[in-house]
């Protein structure tokens, strides 16, 4: 077995989600995940520190894509226009396989307090990445962190709609819609 | 030693924060916290499931006070006016001792990823309690959860200012100010 397996990361994610759904999160070991993926435990630990982190595999990449999307928005863009560009950047990278295992991912996280905590922390991390990028564009605080929070909420709401079996809209379109809804709701508060 | 010690909960919180600051969070045991507080381990476990939860002792009480504050706001109050009433209700219960150990509490949480995660989860819990109370008043979603989030942010910002040594403003006043700043920032986004 070579040192770098093609697609090892995604294979581990798929194997973990399948096993968590089949036999439960608590009963599943790293060894079982690696075996199901046709990889070694060593390869597992090259990608993830533990089984929990497999469920949050995308966090660093998503944070970077969101930050880059904000940095790359046109100079005259408003904070929420920059956030919309960030959502375009990250949602465009999602593949049909992620939509397919979305509901199982959602269920296993919902069933464990430890995982719900980690999910909340992931969202905070995505928000922090966007806040930093908005601040670098000159958006003052707290407007920067509020705009970032609307971006995280739009991402979360759009993901939940995207993985619904009846949905036929692309993820980027759903994210734009969700951000518009949030902007409208914010206007009623201000 | 009687079954119910006067002020046991606050004594355990103070002992834990003192020990965490003196010798580190990782090195401190439940037995040491109980001993420092002049209580038994059994008493400790009557109040908290583990040493981590001592640092988040107020969460349930604060969530209830916030929800009750929203429920008790005048019928014609806007969502943010109801949130302001909730902040009044919760901040009025804080005592000088909490201000005094605030900086040490802040430092120990900042130094441990596990505790930062728990802190983020606590805030999400406070937000959920306010969202539910706003929804019960007929505030539609996502306006309810956005207003609740502004409340949590105002609470957090005001707490950070309240525990600064140079501060001489009361906590409720700081919370009102912080909520006003957030409302102004939101208006720039909408």
**Tokens representing residue B116 in the block:** 């930062």
pLDDT of residue B4: 59
Residue A2 lies in a domain: no
CATH number of the domain at B101, please.
1.10.357.10
- One DSSP character per residue, B141-173 reads TTHHHHHHHHHHHHHHHHHHHHTSTT--S-HHH
* Distances, alpha carbon B170 to alpha carbons A48, B45, B106, B161, in Å: 46, 33, 19, 10
Number of compact structural domains in chain B:
2
Q: Are A113 and A164 found together in one domain? A: yes
Distance from CA of B48 to the nearest CA of A (A): 17
Q: How far apart are CA A3 and CA A9, in angstroms?
A: 13
Q: Answer yes or no: is B3 within a domain.
A: no
CA A187 to chain B, closest CA, distance in angstroms equals 5
Contact A116 B121 (CB under 8 A): yes
Q: Is residue A1 part of a domain?
A: no
Is A75 inside any structural domain? Answer: yes
**Inter-residue contact A130 to A71 (CB < 8 Å):** no
Least confident of A113-122, A133-142, B81-90, B126-135: A113-122
Residue of A nearest to B122 (CA): A117
CATH number at residue B14: 1.10.10.60
Range of the domain at B63: 58-189
Chain B positions in Cβ-Cβ contact with residue A137 (cut-off 8 Å)? none
Residues B47 and B26 in one domain: yes
Confidence band for A3, pLDDT divided at 50, 70 and 90: low
Same domain membership, residue B65 and residue B154: yes
pLDDT tens for chain B, 190 residues: list them.
445 566 899 899 999 999 999 999 999 999 999 999 999 999 999 999 999 999 998 899 999 999 999 999 999 999 999 999 999 999 999 998 889 989 999 999 999 988 998 898 899 999 999 999 999 999 999 999 999 999 999 999 999 999 999 999 999 999 999 999 999 999 999 8
């Amino acid at each position: 077995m070579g040192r770098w397996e093609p697609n090892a990361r995604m294979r581990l994610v798929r194997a973990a989600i399948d096993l968590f759904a089949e036999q439960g999160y608590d009963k599943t070991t790293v060894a079982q995940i690696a075996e199901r993926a046709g990889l070694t435990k060593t390869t597992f630990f090259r990608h993830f520190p533990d089984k929990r982190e497999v469920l949050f595999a995308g966090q660093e990449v998503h944070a970077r894509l969101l930050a880059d999307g904000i940095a790359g928005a046109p100079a005259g863009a408003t904070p929420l226009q920059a956030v919309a560009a960030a959502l375009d950047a990250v949602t465009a990278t999602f593949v049909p396989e992620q939509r397919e295992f979305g509901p199982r991912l959602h269920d296993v996280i919902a069933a464990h307090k430890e995982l719900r905590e980690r999910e909340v922390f992931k969202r905070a991390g995505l928000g922090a990445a966007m806040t930093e990028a908005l601040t670098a564009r000159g958006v003052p605080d707290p407007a920067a962190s509020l705009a970032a929070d609307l971006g995280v909420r739009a991402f979360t709401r759009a993901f939940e709609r995207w993985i619904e079996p009846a949905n036929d809209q692309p993820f980027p379109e759903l994210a734009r819609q969700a951000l518009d809804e949030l902007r409208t709701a914010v206007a009623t508060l201000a």
